[in-house]
Chain A
Amino acid sequence: MRNNSWFKEKILLGMDFKEYVSKHATLPFFIAFLILAFSFYSMAYRLLYGLGPATNLSDTYPWGLWISFDILAGIALAAPGLTVGTAVYLFGLKDYKKFARPAILSSLLGYVFAVFALMFDLGRYYRVPYVIGWSWGLNSILFLIAPSKIHPLWYSALLPLFFLISAVFAGISMVIIESTISHKIFKEYIKEFDEKDFDRKTIGLAKALVVSLFVYLILKILDLTHYDNWHYLNTDYGYWYLFEIVGFVMTPALILINAIKTNNAKVVRVIAFVVAFGVIVNRFNVSLIAYNWYIPLSDKYYPTWMEVALSLGVVTLIILFYRFIVRRMPILS
């Protein structure tokens, strides 16, 4: 490349290579590369030696961390595009147009990397074209088919509906989280930053969050009554179930109502983290903790370090790609 001005302008952001590297030699990047090193090692190890040595999966636990976190939680948390995209482009809520582009970008990255992570969990990943045309999405009938093996508190014919609604509030809370972070980190890329307007829109998102949380809560209570599962609440699994519902749905919803009343955008931002974390907890509960619930604790599955490293690596890759694209394309402006 004799005249590499395009590369220099677009990829290196106008710096020469040395300058670019030295500017990125920071602690966060060091940590990111450390995670990626372990993650790539795990990926290679799994491809060469198989699922057996790389994971703690067994005939009793055919699905583990990669399905629970990378696929189920990942797909739900990649829903900002779904929620904000629908609101802005389908229902014409133009106020939130600024949120739409970053939201759709994060969804795109989320879905792409969910499929990437799934490759490592599939025994014959090279046959993945066989599955195309079948849905692996958040509406799939995943887990509907294991009624006898999932704890009755989590098993329900409404499970796909619960997945969908929780994906909606996962999406909204992720929009709040992303906008909070990008307004801190990518401030220079936002031309006219009106803090008051931003707070007002955050409160607006909080209102939608409260509504979806309550829809979910009401359906959960109906479900509990329909299956007559109230008596399970006074067991160990019941306490854990209550912790999930009260701790990550009801309490955040009530705090959010208060925050909307007092116009406190800061509280909304904190609660968004709680709600998103709650969705991860829920996906783990449905797919791992409530699965094979009758098995003694000592026989339960826990992930190997390689499973954890690979998942962390995928998250790191998403963040790096997001950062890379945001700094080069008009996502935030």
Chain B
Amino acid sequence: MKRREFLKRILTIAGISLIGGKGNVYGESPSDLSQRAVKSTGNIANRKNWLKYEALKDKQKPKEPYAVLVDLTKCIGCRRCEWACNEWNKNPNKPIKEFEESKDKKPSVFDKIRRTSAGAFTVVNRFYENGRPVYVKKQCMHCTEPACQAACFVDAFKKTPHGAVLYNPSLCVGCRYCMIACPFDIPAYEYYDPITPQITKCTMCFDRITESQIPACVEICSADALRFGPRNEMLKLAYETINKNPERYIPHVYGEHEAGGTNWLYISGVSFEKLGFPKLDKNPIPSYSKNFLFTVKVLEIIAAAPLVWGAYYMISKNRKKKESQDVQSNEKQ
């Protein structure tokens, strides 16, 4: 970064924090939109959703947490969900046409497998099976027992009764442990923001689903690949779909049990391992550390007593030795 640009940035940051204004810190010229995708995004989705959560807290609890069911056999790779996500969350965006065209362009955005990043809460990747493309949407899976939440030292993550996992930027110290912990490699970080970097990830459009709307990506999907509803209904729908067309699907709903279950569910015609999904067992990731903490407690009970006794024994032995020495030296005198 050039010095002038840096000074400009410091001044804008200072100005904005003084005025208390929200919005993008960076000068908006369309040419550097793609660059901004890796830089700090002036993310406001985190804060907005967290405030909404705080305001609702106990007032509005759905009977059943929500879920999104993704039918990978139906996705056509138009990437309109990416556009809608950026649009709703005020992330750096491009015209929707550019997203749709990317499918046939060469070189294509699909040439490389992408992951979520600071400016993109969701990405669509392309895999090939027997020469046919399979498009896979990737975003936060909203685990039932999130690893990010268990890893966080300052309690900056919350699993809401709606099913969404939310992040509170006003607590985060930026240790990035959540990124280490997430088995799906979802949380991203604003590495180019020196002062107020945030973790960014999909919020399941908490601010929409609490207003009886559906997530932005689900709303825009014209291929019927995304469905939104209570999780038990989505699971039922998933199995119904598989059973109706057993030759089209493999008999596995990804997310039903993976890592203790997630609030995004996937059905597919191709084995999930071939589509970049991690192979996970049924144990929620936090249970690994819970088991350990239990071990520590047991160890404390078993090992603490002998340790204390040992120390006491050594101390009293030394004291006796000293006393006998004192007695001896007294006798000499």
Contacts and interface: CB of A to CB of B under 8 A. Distances in A.
Interface of A: 46-53, 55, 57-60, 62-63, 90-92, 94, 121-125, 127-128, 130-131, 134, 141, 143-149, 157, 160, 291
Given A50-B197, A145-B177, 18 more contacts: A46-B194, A50-B194, A59-B115, A59-B116, A60-B185, A62-B180, A90-B314, A123-B197, A124-B173, A127-B154, A127-B172, A127-B174, A144-B288, A144-B289, A145-B151, A145-B289, A148-B278, A149-B183
A144 B292 contact: yes
Contacts of B197: 50-51, 123-124
Contact of B180 (A52, A53, A63, A124): A63
B315 A92 contact: yes
Contacts of A59: 115-118, 179, 185, 188-189
Interface string B1-15: 100001000000000
Contacts of B278: 148
Given A63-B180, A131-B154, A145-B288, A123 B314 contact: no
Contact of B285 (A52, A58, A92, A145): A145
A65 B288 CA distance: 26
B116 A49 contact: no
Contacts of B289: 141, 144-145
Nearest to B278: A148
Given A123-B173, A130-B171, A131-B173, A157 B291 contact: yes
Q: Say which size band chain B's interface belongs to.
A: 35 or more
11 contacts: A51-B194, A51-B197, A52-B38, A94-B318, A121-B175, A123-B172, A123-B173, A123-B175, A125-B174, A130-B154, A145-B288
Given A59-B115, A124-B173, A160-B292, A92 B318 contact: yes
Contacts, number: 123
B150 A48 contact: no
B6 A49 contact: yes
Interface in B153-191: 153-154, 171-177, 179-181, 183, 185, 188-191
A255 B200 CA distance: 51
A62 B179 contact: yes
A144 B289 CA distance: 6
A78 to B, nearest CB: 20
Which of A55, A128, A157 is most buried by chain B, counting CB atoms within 10 A of its CB?
Answer: A157
